[in-house]
Amino acid sequence: MKKDWIVRDLLNTSYNYLKDKKIESPRLCAELLLCHALKMDRLRLYMDMEKPLTQKEISLYRKLVRRRIKGEPLYYIIGKREFWSLKFKVTPDVMIPRVETEHLVECAIEKYRKSKWKDQEIVRFMDIGVGCGNISISLLTELPNCHFYCTDISLNALKIARQNAKAHNVYERMNLILGDLFPSIRSTQNLFHIIVSNPPYIPTDHIPKLSREIREWEPRIALDGGKDGLRFIYRIISQAHHYLNPQGWLIMEIGYDQSEKVYDIAVRSAKYSKIEISKDLSGIARVVMLQKMGLKT
């Protein structure tokens, strides 16, 4: 005789199963997968703990759990990830947003609010390697006079970013450009006040040491920073001053052990008057901020 399942019992059983399989955050995983299967949010799930489940719902849920056990990332399975209290569509074409990257958004907002051009009609931002659009879209929702030029080498990533921008009603202030790092605009009318980026910064030989769900599922192009992890960071620092207004800021996420090397790269470039390193809540040097010199170069 088949067991009659209710939400509470199925959650508890799947939690124990996921925990035994060494799945990270097993309770959260169980809840989000069941929310996805039932097409409801977590608040509704908590309110419906005694809800009886149909065999069709149970079958779908079990398929989702099996996908997670095989290593597929939770947020690719459910197709979305929360960042900056916003929901973003994600697929294996884009890297899954991390909560640590919210510190980059915080740093960009702080520099904007302390700037002399914050009250201009339009403040121009650039996002290098836009991915799903989590950084630029979060800033667009916070700063009503900012406009973004967003680049990515992946056409599929740009399609995801466009969908997310439309979902959050900021698409009219976002230009999406296919290309490697910087767009082909260099006139004085097209300089930017702030450039943000979360570039690939993992050393190539560290990729095989990453967790299975990262190394086998997330796009390598968004992870691999070359032999020392600094390939793209070096290129961005070397070129960004051509695209920044005088006293404009380049703000980048960096690897946990890269701050000294990145500082040296910035010093050697001799194009920036200020170099600041900001630590996240865990005390990790997470973001580098470089201000272009006041005079045009």
DSSP string, 65-91: HHHHHTT--HHHHHTEEEETTEEEE--
Q: Cα 295 vs. chain centroid, distance in angstroms? A: 33
Residue 245 lies in a domain: yes
Q: What does the block give as tokens for 31? A: 């809840």
Q: How much is the pLDDT for 293?
A: 86
* Average pLDDT per consecutive 10 residues, the chain (297 residues; last block may be shorter): 81 94 94 95 91 93 96 96 97 96 97 90 94 98 95 96 98 94 66 96 95 93 94 95 93 94 92 93 93 71
Q: What's the domain count of the chain? A: 2
**Residue 197, strand partner residues:** 128, 252
**HSE, side-chain direction, 13 A CA sphere, residue 296:** 7
Which residues on neighbouring strands pair with residue 196, listed in sequence order?
Answer: 127, 251
Do residues 38 and 139 both lie within one domain? Answer: no
Burial class of residue 272 in the structure, from the number of CB atoms within 10 Å of its CB (0-12 exposed, 13-18 middle, 19+ buried) = buried
| Same-domain pairing of 163 and 102 | yes
Q: Are residues 43 and 174 in the same domain?
A: no
Q: Which of 48, 70, 92 is the last residue in one of the domains?
A: 70
Contact 234, 261 (CB under 8 A): no
Phi, psi of 87 (to 5 degrees): -100, 130
pLDDT of residue 176: 96
From 70, 96, 121, the end of a domain falls on: 70
pLDDT at 186: 58
> Rounded to an integer, what distance in angstroms lies between the CA atom of residue 230 and that of residue 91?
26
Q: 93 near 164, Cβ under 8 Å?
A: no
Note the pLDDT of residue 297. Answer: 40
Residue 297 within any structural domain of the chain: no
Tokens of 87: 């929901």
Inter-residue contact 263 to 272 (CB < 8 Å): no
Domain match, 93 and 239 both: yes
Q: Assess whether 124 and 169 both reside in one domain.
A: yes
pTM: 0.91
- Residue 76 placed within a domain: no
Euclidean distance between CA atoms 47 and 31, whole angstroms: 13
Q: Note down the domain range covering 269.
A: 81-292
CATH code of residue 113: 3.40.50.150
One domain, residues 54 and 159: no
206 burial via Cβ count (<10 Å: 0-12, 13-18, 19+): middle
Q: How many other C-beta atoms are found inside a 10 Å radius of the C-beta of residue 240? A: 26
Comparing CA positions, the residue from 42, 40, 17 lying closest to residue 28 is 42
Question: Does residue 230 share a domain with residue 152?
Answer: yes
Give the side-chain half-sphere CA count within 13 A for 216: 7
Of 70, 94, 124, which marks where a domain is finished?
70
